[in-house]
Amino acid sequence: MISVLRTMGYIKINLEEYKIIYNLYGGSLMMDPSFLLALEKISNLKTVFYGKYDQHGKPLVGIPTWGNWIAGDRQANKIQKLDEIIDLGRPTIILPSQNEIKTNVRFKTNYLVYPDGIENAKKINNKTMAFFKDSPSGGISSRFKRDLRRYWKHFFDNKGTIKNIQEIDYKETARIYIKLHTARWKKSPKASKDLEMVMKELKPFLFGSVLYMDEEPVSIQIIYRVDNTKYSYFEYINSGVDMSKSSNKINLGNLLIDLNTREAEKISTNLGTELVYSFGLFSDPYKERWCKHIDTYKLGLI
């Protein structure tokens, strides 16, 4: 009975039909059909797609699902055991939907943002996501920009160099990340045993740069990127830093955030898309400097 209620007003659609809806309205990383196919390739997942249309056949919303959950929700990742293979952090859900006409979505998620047009979305109190404060929305402070200029000067004075992550072999990317994550957090990254395979399959989606000093990698961030009609979307998962090389004079973590977010802004501007750069849950003090609070919403039936 509940499964019938979940799909009331929706029809099951195929991947090609879902792509049409996604290409019309855009969405977050976990809504991207190519990214979903890549996840299926590295796991036992099978994504089932649903669509809702108006009386004239115009699509209103498309939903990729894993069981009762919208694909990519953190709880769905756990249920599907995807979190044992790949660290996806706390990805947000932005559904590909036509927001001018109200609709209900009964599949479950606790990480919906931008709920315009979805009538049954319920705000979750005391839980916000951290989205980068891009320049149009205020950006970082002038004082901190001065600090960053000082950090960059010391970085380059100390034989600092930069390499785009797409220029690095997937095996080397995995090695660098494991090494620097362990150096920063004193433990291996989540799902590290499959990291090389994941880096191979998801390489087209990797974004950002790696910082080097004396030709040795010293700072890396795992970020996945997708672009669509509406958004340039970036999901920042986790990082690794050689803390022996990071200091008050060269804060390597802040330098790499600065570099990657500035590049993301350029991409968004050039494409004419809305920039969404997610740092995950608003849970760490450093995010106050870089991020704005974005409300989260829940959907679905019990």
Residue 266 is part of a domain; what is its CATH number? 3.40.630.30
Residue 302, domain member (yes or no)? no
Angle at 93 between CA 92 and CA 95, to 5 degrees: 155
Range name among 133-137, 184-188, 275-279, 288-292 with the lowest pLDDT average: 133-137
Tell whether 22 and 40 lie within a shared domain.
yes
Q: Would you say residue 62 has pLDDT above 90?
A: yes
| 251-277 average pLDDT score | 97
Tell whether 280 and 148 lie within a shared domain.
yes
Which class for 175: exposed (0-12), middle (13-18), buried (19 or more C-beta within 10 A)? middle
| 178-193 average pLDDT score | 94
- With contact defined as beta carbons under 8 Å apart, do 297 and 114 qualify? no
Tell whether 144 and 276 lie within a shared domain.
yes
Contacts (Cβ under 8 Å, ≥6 apart) of 153: none
Tokens coding 53: 């249309």
Range name among 195-209, 237-251, 270-284 with the lowest pLDDT average: 237-251
Residue 300, domain member (yes or no)? no
Tell whether 84 and 198 lie within a shared domain.
no
Band of residue 5 on the pLDDT scale cut at 50, 70, 90: low
Contacts (Cβ under 8 Å, ≥6 apart) of 248: none
Residue 48, domain extent: 2-124
Contacts (Cβ under 8 Å, ≥6 apart) of 283: 130
Tell whether 137 and 281 lie within a shared domain.
yes
Residue 233, domain member (yes or no)? yes
Residue 100 is predicted with a pLDDT of 78
Query: pTM value?
Result: 0.95
Residue 291 Cα distances to 33, 131, 151, 220, 248, angstroms? 27, 5, 20, 19, 21
Residue 246 is predicted with a pLDDT of 85
Residue 33, domain member (yes or no)? yes
Percent of the chain with pLDDT over 70: 98
Band of residue 1 on the pLDDT scale cut at 50, 70, 90: very low
Rounded Cα–Cα distance for residues 70 and 93 (Å): 8
Tokens coding 2: 């509940």
Amino acid at 284: D
Indicate the SS3 state at residue 225: strand
Tell whether 25 and 82 lie within a shared domain.
yes
Out of 124, 152, 173, pick the residue that ends a domain.
124
Residue 302 is predicted with a pLDDT of 57
Tell whether 50 and 192 lie within a shared domain.
no
The count of domains in the chain is: 2
Out of 88, 105, 124, pick the residue that ends a domain.
124
Residue 299, domain member (yes or no)? no
Range name among 90-94, 140-144, 209-213 with the lowest pLDDT average: 140-144
Tell whether 15 and 151 lie within a shared domain.
no
Give the number of other Cβ atoms within 10 Å of residue 127's Cβ. Answer: 17
Residue 13 is predicted with a pLDDT of 97
Q: Would you say residue 141 has pLDDT above 70?
A: yes
| 82-92 average pLDDT score | 95
Tell whether 38 and 168 lie within a shared domain.
no
Tell whether 15 and 157 lie within a shared domain.
no
- With contact defined as beta carbons under 8 Å apart, do 107 and 63 qualify? yes
Residue 236's DSSP bridge partners are 223
Residue 51, domain member (yes or no)? yes
Rounded Cα–Cα distance for residues 279 and 225 (Å): 13
Q: Classify strands 231-241 and 274-281 as parallel, antiparallel or unpaired.
A: parallel
Q: Which of 261, 265, 222, 260 has the alpha carbon at shortest distance from 241? A: 222
Rounded Cα–Cα distance for residues 195 and 171 (Å): 9
Tell whether 120 and 136 lie within a shared domain.
no
Out of 74, 104, 124, pick the residue that ends a domain.
124
Tokens coding 71: 């694909």
How big is the chain, counted in residues? 302
| 117-136 average pLDDT score | 92
Which class for 14: exposed (0-12), middle (13-18), buried (19 or more C-beta within 10 A)? exposed
Residue 105, domain member (yes or no)? yes
- With contact defined as beta carbons under 8 Å apart, do 4 and 69 qualify? no
Residue 301, domain member (yes or no)? no
Tell whether 91 and 229 lie within a shared domain.
no
